[in-house]
Structure 1
Amino acid sequence: MARRRKLHSEPEKALAELQTLLDDFSSWLSDPDLRAKVRALIPAIHKIREVGVILQTGAAQLSARMRILNYLQAYPLTVIDGDELMVVSGIQDYPRRVRELRVQLGWQISSGATFKDMANDLSRTGNLEDLAAIEAALGRDPLTLRTDQYVLLSLEEDREAAHRWNNLNEIRRSKASVQDKLLRYMLKNIGRPVLGEELRYLAGDRNEWPRRMRELRTEGGWSIATKMSGRPDLNVGTYVLETGEPAPEHDRHIPDAVRVDVLIRDKYRCQWPECGWERGMAAPNDPRKLLELHHVVHHRDKGTNTTGNLITLCNTHHDLVHKDQSAAKVVETILAEAHAR
């Protein structure tokens, strides 16, 4: 097994050595032998990596993988260039270390290509508000991002990642369509955040995956939530399938903008009297698991998908309202009073 190089602990000393190497290289510039000049420059390249490694206080004796993690943790939700990771890790094979952090250790690291796929889909569909939301979250135009750029989405490690990626690889190898693969994977992870990076890999790195996810939600009725569709608790670029059953046909066509407006108006809480449930209150033995939008005037009675006809309820009280006519009247009164204010 190769031994790890012993590094200086003082960047000033390493920098002085780098300067000496560069000064010495100047004598090679007039040499007609190209290979001789290239080989003479190699020690300076190694020294540049050494300087980059020891810039992180106390990180010089860590593995390259952990130096990359330390650097990403210092700048969460920031687009980091691969060249930066090459410098701080001291190795060229930094993409493999990034993948290990993601797949084996569960760190939520997305590539620029994943965000670019999402941005292209939003741009094609004219969803400029969501596109602007991604840009605001990252501080960069997502349409300009590259494969060799990375974003750490969360400072929390996902300890189930290795098991999830094993399932992902099994589904990826199947002969199903991209959309079927995406749905199968989401159904295996109901209620758990899934990275767009996982979905992109599942789709064979083809950039159609955001469109297929959107179709599952808008046409198939699957309750796939994102930060932009009314789940502010989620990280940008993260998806959650909230329930294992698709929504009724009429609920599939509520525009995202309307859905978000209703949730904001209702403060992301169930509006049933004395309930007030929100996602942060979820507990293992509590039947309330998610928030749903209820049509006060039912779709079959020509009720519209507008803020004036929608109210936020937890799944428990939503079921109650559909079963009990008197409960439906209570909700109707609540919404009327809200508009009266």
Structure 2
Amino acid sequence: MARRSKRNTPESLRVELIKLLTKFEEKLLDENLREQVKGLVPANHLLRDLGSSLIKDEDATSARDRILSYLRKYPGMLLDGDELMVVAGISEYARRIRELRVQMGWPILAGKAIKDMLVEGEVIDSASDSNRIKTDTYFLVQDQQDKEAAFRWNLANEIRKKKISVKDKIITYLRENVGKEINGEELKYLANDKSEWARRVRELRTEDGWPVATRQSGRPELKVGVYVLEENRQAEVHDRKIPDPVRVETLERDHFSCKVCGWNYSNRRAEDKIRNLLELHHIEHHASGGKNELNNLITLCNVCHDDVHRGNKSNQELKELIAVG
């Protein structure tokens, strides 16, 4: 059975470790390899005890608790696996991280998922260069536990086994969780850990017209690594052709709010079950030659968008709304 770390005051452990290492000089002079190795065993144990004792939380009695405590002190920051190994006091820290993610719902991204997202244009605030991300790099998306995560992971496991494409697995999963914040690790798992998952999510939004929102695609309040299928329906074919940079530029100009009623994601109310997403509308219809350009697009909530399509706002009125700024 693996030895459990024994926590104590860091200073007393440091002093004891120095004594052991000082005494180890005798082992080096003896040149007996086995005795040298055996002489380092207590020092190795003490070093692990010292690392695990750095976490002051009284409730952090297990390796998993200590890892979580450390992650929660640095949400939104890239942490090396070696750091988590030190505070865990065990070498099998990666398994404990998976338990935190799958069983307890902590939104922890690992290096592979982070790199996949960076390649597809998603921005992680503390990481601009994907080359410095390692497999054992970890990132706590937000200091908030997701109580439904265990259920979703079971669902993801069922969908993962289906003999369908990666894109179909992802959209099936998202449609089962409309409006919910989905972690990138969940989507990577659905794709059997293949790096294409992030590209498929982008294609679902830009080519297939599914309203999959991210922080980079026009929902700045979302955390890095979070995906939300805003509504269980695809956009009209012509609306799928708006390039992401133009889409974001339009949303920024309109302050991420409906230009007719002022609705946005930050002022939405739980009792309002009708308004649930922002859409871009072509003032001069795309089918009639209207271009995917800033001066031909306006941000509308889904309710006002439907109202405009019923003819209750003229093109001139819409142009005046975007001219106001």
Decide: shared fold, TM above 0.5. Answer: yes
> Would the aligned equivalents of 2:254 and 2:299 in 1 still touch at CA under 8 Å?
yes
1:297 maps to amino acid: E
> Would the aligned equivalents of 1:292 and 1:315 in 2 still touch at CA under 8 Å?
yes
In the aligned structure 2, how far is the partner of 1:194 from the partner of 1:141? 24
- TM-score (normalised: structure 1): 0.90
Structure 1 residue 327: Cα displacement: 5.3
2:42 maps to amino acid: P
Match of 1:295 in 2: 282
Match of 2:27 in 1: 28
In the aligned structure 2, how far is the partner of 1:188 from the partner of 1:61? 35
In the aligned structure 2, how far is the partner of 1:60 from the partner of 1:46? 22
Aligned pair 1:323/2:322, yes or no?
no
> Would the aligned equivalents of 1:262 and 1:311 in 2 still touch at CA under 8 Å?
yes
Q: 1:207 aligns with which of 159, 174, 195?
A: 195
Match of 1:149 in 2: 137
Classify 1:78/1:326 alpha carbon distance in 2 versus 1 (closer, same or farther; 3 Å). closer
> Would the aligned equivalents of 2:77 and 2:140 in 1 still touch at CA under 8 Å?
yes
Aligned pair 1:174/2:173, yes or no?
no
2:7 maps to amino acid: L
In the aligned structure 2, how far is the partner of 1:12 from the partner of 1:24? 19
Match of 1:90 in 2: 89
> Would the aligned equivalents of 2:284 and 2:315 in 1 still touch at CA under 8 Å?
no
* More off after superposition, 54-63 vs 141-150: 54-63
Match of 1:229 in 2: 217
> Would the aligned equivalents of 2:104 and 2:150 in 1 still touch at CA under 8 Å?
yes
> Would the aligned equivalents of 1:59 and 1:67 in 2 still touch at CA under 8 Å?
no
Structure 1 residue 7: Cα displacement: 2.5
Match of 2:11 in 1: 12
Structure 1 residue 263: Cα displacement: 0.8
* More off after superposition, 94-103 vs 282-291: 282-291
In the aligned structure 1, how far is the partner of 2:74 from the partner of 2:268? 30
Aligned pair 1:51/2:37, yes or no?
no
Q: Deviations over 1:66-120 (max 9, x none)?
A: 1111101111111111111111011111111111111111111101111111223
Give SS of 2:87's match.
Answer: helix
In the aligned structure 2, how far is the partner of 1:64 from the partner of 1:90? 7
The aligned runs of 1:1-341 (5 Å cut-off) are 6-8=6-8, 10-59=9-58, 62-122=61-121, 130=122, 133-134=123-124, 137-139=125-127, 141-272=129-260, 275-286=261-272, 287-326=274-313, 329-335=316-322, 337-338=323-324
In the aligned structure 1, how far is the partner of 2:303 from the partner of 2:60? 54
Structure 1 residue 332: Cα displacement: 3.3
Classify 1:155/1:15 alpha carbon distance in 2 versus 1 (closer, same or farther; 3 Å). same
Structure 2, gaps ≥5 residues long? none
2:56 maps to amino acid: T
Structure 1 residue 333: Cα displacement: 2.9
Higher helix share: 1
1:105 maps to amino acid: M
> Would the aligned equivalents of 1:119 and 1:143 in 2 still touch at CA under 8 Å?
no
Aligned residue pair count: 324
- TM-score (normalised: structure 2): 0.94
In the aligned structure 1, how far is the partner of 2:82 from the partner of 2:110? 14
Structure 1, gaps ≥5 residues long? 123-129
2:163 maps to amino acid: K
Give SS of 2:158's match.
Answer: helix
Measured on the aligned residues, the alpha-carbon RMSD in Å equals 1.9
In the aligned structure 2, how far is the partner of 1:281 from the partner of 1:328? 27
Structure 1 residue 323: Cα displacement: 0.8
Identical-residue share of aligned pairs (%): 49
